[in-house]
Copies of this chain bind each other. A is one copy, B any other.
Amino acid sequence: MRVHLGLVHHPVCDKNGQRIASAITPVDLHDLARIARTYGVSTFQVITPLSDQQELAERICSHWTAGFGASYNPHRREALELVTVVSSLVDGVQKISAMEGKEPFILATDASRKEEKMISFPDARAMIDRDLVVFLLFGTAWGLAPDALGKADAVLEPIMGVDEYNHLPVRAAAAIILDRLVGDHT
């Protein structure tokens, strides 16, 4: 499989739907890296245009990949080695294109049901099974801004719980979505 993960900090929405750049949440980096490593994801891009936030992300990763943490917890090193920090979605796509020799299919995720460009979990899974290069995007804060969704080739159907409550942490959503798309359920 050739799946790349992107955690987008800009452009995302705030609580009121305004377009913002969100701050790095360290536990998101740790959790998504461990989830990515578990499911065989190729790279995990942390996407933020803010230089201080890029430095923060780099510092967290280097602590666990080269610093004290690397010998203290090798499993965490192995996970965080998948992380690269990029400044925009466009840069992220270029990086993947250079690595894979072709442009990735951009598959965005969103918690609300939108019909346009929506694809089902089985259809997305089938694309990954056919070895398509997929860039799976998660939005932080209140989710990907409309212009980020607009750049996507498709938007994955949302995870539905028992009722209309749809407030999973991005960490949990990423775990469930990767399990549904590439997990071994036999």
In angstroms, Cα B160 to Cα A173, docked, is 18
Q: Which of A16-24, A93-101, A178-186 contacts B (4 or more CB under 8 A)?
A: A178-186
Interface contact B167-A79, CB-CB below 8 Å: yes
Count, chain A residues at interface, CB 8 A: 36
The 8 A CB mask of A155-174 against B (1 = contact, 0 = none) is 00001111101111101111
Work out how many copies of this chain go into the complex: 2
Interface contact B171-A171, CB-CB below 8 Å: yes
Known A121-B185, A161-B40, A162-B39; contact A167-B27, beta-carbon cutoff 8 A: no
Interface contact B169-A30, CB-CB below 8 Å: yes
Known A34-B172, A172-B31, A172-B172; contact A179-B167, beta-carbon cutoff 8 A: no
Interface contact A172-B35, CB-CB below 8 Å: yes
Interface residues of A in 122-164 (CB under 8 A from B): 159-163
Please, which residues of chain B bring their CB within 8 A of the CB of A71?
Answer: none
A75 beta carbon closer than 8 Å to chain B:
yes
Chain A binding surface, main DSSP class? helix
A175 beta carbon closer than 8 Å to chain B:
yes
A38 beta carbon closer than 8 Å to chain B:
yes
Task: Give chain A's interface residues, CB within 8 Å of chain B.
Answer: 27, 30-31, 34-35, 37-40, 75-76, 78-79, 121, 159-163, 165-169, 171-176, 179-180, 182-185
| In the A-B complex, the 10 residue pairs with the closest CB atoms | A40-B162, A38-B161, A172-B175, A75-B167, A175-B175, A176-B179, A31-B169, A160-B184, A175-B176, A35-B172
User: What are 5 pairs between A and B in contact, CB < 8 Å?
Assistant: A27-B27, A34-B169, A38-B161, A40-B163, A161-B183
